[in-house]
Chains A and B, each alone.
Chain A
């Protein structure tokens, strides 16, 4: 997809990525994906899954719930939608993953989990509802409208829901890590050793922490008890999955602080390839690969390594402003479309 800035290239990739999780990857609210002045935004797609055609349509509204249809049949629950399309989205924002905010690193994990575990949708919803309720109670305690002892009724369900979310993320990092480590070895010609570990969002929580089993719920509960004074001082929960994080280490040292820009890009690329492998193993079909404006940021050797890693049979969408940013081997294998405001034309100049 070739075109200048602000022509709608990312918009197209965003639409494809949205098909996977039913959640727009860059929007915080559904209303943000709707054109200004319009009431709703609709994505219509025709796909082939396991050799069978499938039609999947999603509708986002400025007001009201989103609606989804598979082959014209409305989905009663979002769980019925999930798992139909899997994607790996690699955008420019991902290049900052390693030294960026913990929030970005959590979102990256959650996007993968939503595609692999349909139940995560409910677990997340439950957890965020508990967070909102418990924070509301903390505010009532601060104004004197409630007593601190009332927190006890919320701490245990909070801990159970928090553990469910953190467990999913920890399990994902555990299966992502060895694959990413292998890919970095390939990308760096065996020179660099990557290590990735999960840090649960409780004080003192580190990578060695056991997250399986009831003892983790007990640790979260204990941490909640200990952080109560701090929670009350700040007016919100300071312990929980909203504080989870993961760390990348290069040759044993924190990559956020020590790795060069090029090395960090290689780590992100290794992670994306690991994500692709994992989704393929989980779903039995390779996911769609969406490369939004990132190819230009990778040097020719990394571009080549990526192309080789993708191999055949993986549908890949690439956006770029200049054809010259693409390594020759990429250009040779691509269908090139021109993106002008609001429409896409193919074939085009080569």
Chain B
């Protein structure tokens, strides 16, 4: 049975969201249509005002509710350490560790010619400007170990290393508490490749 037209439009919109397939979209649509109109109005106005209130931080390009995001505005963060990440999700992931006390630079994606993303489409120019800061000791390229992440890491390291900066990247290999016989072959092979001497 086809859905009523307006509901179909709604389901189609939901389906464009990441991680939402047809069934989930339909479920969300039906759930919302069962709510009182006031609840829907509240949701719609929250959506619009959130989008209106948020913009990009003028320093690191992460999402911010002002001109500058909270991390860039925090004087307690270590200005000597800068993590370059692809997006906000990666900032959140590093923040959850509570170990990283430095600052961020959000590229807004990774190099991917297939998707038409080259260096011009990423926030690289502003990154190079930030690197002039004499307080900076180390740049951590915290990009994912995919084909696109590695190409971006390499592209940036070519720009950064000649500037005399200490350039690091995340280690890849075993996850914490992993049992060797359960780890998949690819990860284990990487960990083997990146083995290091003890003491």
Contacts and interface: CB of A to CB of B under 8 A. Distances in A.
Contacts of B148: 133
Interface in A150-191: 150, 152-154, 156-157, 161
Interface residues of B, number: 19
A140 B118 contact: yes
B150 A137 contact: no
B185 A133 contact: no
A153 B111 contact: yes
B185 to A, nearest CB: 5
What class of interface size applies to chain A in its complex with B?
A: 20 to 34
B113 interface: yes
B186 A136 contact: no
Given A129-B147, A133-B147, A157-B147, A152 B114 contact: no
A157 B116 contact: no
Interface in B73-89: none
B151 interface: yes
Interface stretch (B4-12, B48-56, B98-106, B152-160): B152-160
B109 interface: no
A77 B184 contact: yes
Given A79-B185, A119-B185, A154 B116 contact: no
Contact of A157 (B112, B114, B150, B189): B150
B185 A153 contact: no
Nearest to B114: A136
A157 B151 contact: yes
A145 B116 contact: yes
Contacts of B112: 133
A212 interface: no
Interface string B173-184: 000000000001
Given A146-B113, A146-B118, A133 B151 contact: yes
Given A129-B147, A157-B151, A140 B116 contact: yes
Given A77-B184, A122-B186, A156 B118 contact: no
A150 B120 CA distance: 11
Nearest to A118: B185
A233 B184 CA distance: 41
Contacts of B154: 153, 156-157
B151 A154 contact: yes
B161 to A, nearest CB: 13
A150 B119 contact: yes
A139 B184 CA distance: 36
A153 B147 contact: no
Contacts of A122: 186
Interface of A: 77, 79-80, 118-119, 122, 126, 129-130, 132-134, 136-137, 139-140, 145-146, 150, 152-154, 156-157, 161
28 contacts: A79-B185, A119-B185, A119-B189, A122-B186, A126-B147, A130-B147, A132-B114, A133-B112, A133-B113, A133-B147, A133-B151, A137-B118, A140-B113, A140-B118, A145-B118, A146-B113, A146-B118, A150-B111, A152-B158, A153-B111, A153-B152, A153-B154, A153-B158, A154-B113, A157-B147, A157-B150, A157-B151, A161-B147
**Lowest 8 CB-CB distances: which A-B pairs, in order?**
A153-B155, A137-B113, A136-B113, A136-B114, A129-B147, A153-B151, A122-B186, A146-B118
